[in-house]
């Protein structure tokens, strides 16, 4: 059995599928390809997939719908491909649960780099220092950085995407400190923000819906207007 990480590609363009498959195999990934949502579901039923590369514009069932359905019962990382240049389209993809996106045309090498970065974050454990916390507790909530789990004060598992988990972990590691959007993006995605990148704001909004009693009046993740965010809680 191969130890290579398994990537699923969903794109209706056979030339793009072939190009991406060649590049990913050259980077030592195992690859399965699909041209529609039905074929992707078949792959997921029979294979263990580590990450999905998903085209936004598909005939029939579109990429956004597929992304939403995947997120309903899976935390598999998703990188969305889009030919759309409008910010709103990218925002919708992130809101549906995509972990990252690339705008076509793009370099296959950049996609490989994004995939590797996303998988590193997904598999991250407490290796940066021996004394780094395995579990962070705040107001009864428990974040386990090894199992990559968040449990509420009633010990109920909270469903987080990999991007949501990474952002929450980054905030919790630096409580009561201002974290700029650029810094958070660099920590969680390994790249600097551009002026139009709103992925951090979108993920913060999703996190607030899941951990704040009143998302419109957050007690944990507070906004510092024009600067960034502060995680306001005592961590034990």
Domains of the chain, start order: 6-122 (3.40.50.2300), 135-231 (1.10.10.10)
Residues in CB range of 115: below 8 A, 6 or more apart: 7, 24, 29, 51, 53, 79
Cα–Cα nearest to 201, from 175, 172, 180: 180
Beta-bridge partners for 78: 52
The conformation of residue 235, written as its DSSP 8-state character, comes to: -
What local confidence, expressed as pLDDT, does residue 185 receive?
82
Per-residue pLDDT of the chain (236 residues; tens, 9 = 90+): 456 899 999 999 999 999 999 999 999 999 999 999 899 999 998 888 999 999 988 887 888 888 888 887 777 899 998 876 666 666 777 777 888 888 888 899 999 999 988 888 776 433 343 334 578 899 999 999 888 899 999 999 999 988 899 899 989 988 888 888 888 887 777 654 554 567 889 999 999 999 999 999 999 999 998 888 999 988 88
pLDDT at 8: 97
């Amino acid at each position: 059995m191969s130890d290579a990480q398994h990537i699923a590609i969903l794109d209706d363009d056979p030339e793009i599928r072939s190009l991406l498959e060649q590049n990913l195999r050259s980077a030592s990934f195992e690859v399965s390809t699909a041209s529609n949502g039905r074929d992707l579901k078949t792959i997921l039923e029979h294979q263990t997939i580590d990450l999905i590369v998903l085209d936004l514009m598909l005939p029939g069932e579109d990429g956004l719908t597929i992304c939403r359905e995947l997120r309903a019962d899976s935390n598999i990382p998703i990188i969305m491909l889009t030919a759309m240049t409008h910010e709103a389209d990218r925002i919708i993809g992130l809101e549906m649960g995509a972990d990252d996106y690339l705008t076509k045309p793009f370099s296959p090498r950049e996609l490989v780099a994004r995939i590797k970065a996303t998988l590193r974050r997904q598999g991250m454990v407490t290796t940066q220092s021996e004394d780094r916390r395995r579990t962070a507790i705040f107001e009864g909530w428990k974040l386990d950085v090894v199992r990559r789990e968040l449990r509420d004060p009633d010990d109920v598992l909270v469903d987080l995407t990999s991007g949501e988990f990474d952002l929450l972990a980054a905030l919790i590691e630096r409580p009561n400190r201002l974290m700029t959007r650029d810094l958070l993006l660099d920590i969680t995605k390994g790249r600097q923000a551009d002026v139009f990148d709103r992925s951090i704001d979108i993920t913060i909004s999703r996190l607030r819906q899941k951990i704040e009693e009143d998302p419109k009046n957050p007690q944990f993740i507070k906004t510092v207007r024009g600067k960034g965010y502060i995680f306001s809680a005592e961590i034990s």
